[in-house]
Amino acid sequence: MRTVNIFKRKDSPDGREYKSIADFKEGTYPSEPLLVTDENMDETLGRFPLIVVDCWATWCGPCRMIAPIIEDLAEEKAGEIVFGKLNVDENRSLSMKYGITAIPTLLIFKEGEFVDQIIGAMPKKSLEKKLKGYAG
């Protein structure tokens, strides 16, 4: 697993700046998590068949634990699953819409429809096993 500097940017749990959907050509799959916001959520959901959105906050310790796992899976599952990052403090409309009351929460969308959520941090293998049923 990679080591990530979690203090590089105060608005990112894993120290990086995320690209948004606008930074990718239609028909291409990102190999890194996308920045998901109140403004671009619908466009993001409309572009990819399977999306997992990691709902996080800067003050959340478990969010920092799962951040490198999300990074790894985004790279490993590119072309199969798209991962997104949603800061719940900055995107309250989506947080309320999907009833986010604990973080990290992973929201799973298939063909633009919300299908499931996973609450809490977990080991990479466990997360892969849970997501396997949605891919393909």
Catalytic residues: 60, 63
Neighbour count for residue 75 (Cβ, 10 Å)? 14
d(CA 113, CA 12): 26
Nearest to 128 by CA among 69, 86, 68: 69
> 106: which strand partners?
54, 118
> 51: which strand partners?
82, 109
Q: Helix (H, G, I), strand (E, B), or coil: what is residue 116?
A: strand
Burial pattern 110-120, b for ≥16 Cβ within 10 A else e, equals eeeeeeebbee
d(CA 77, CA 66): 16
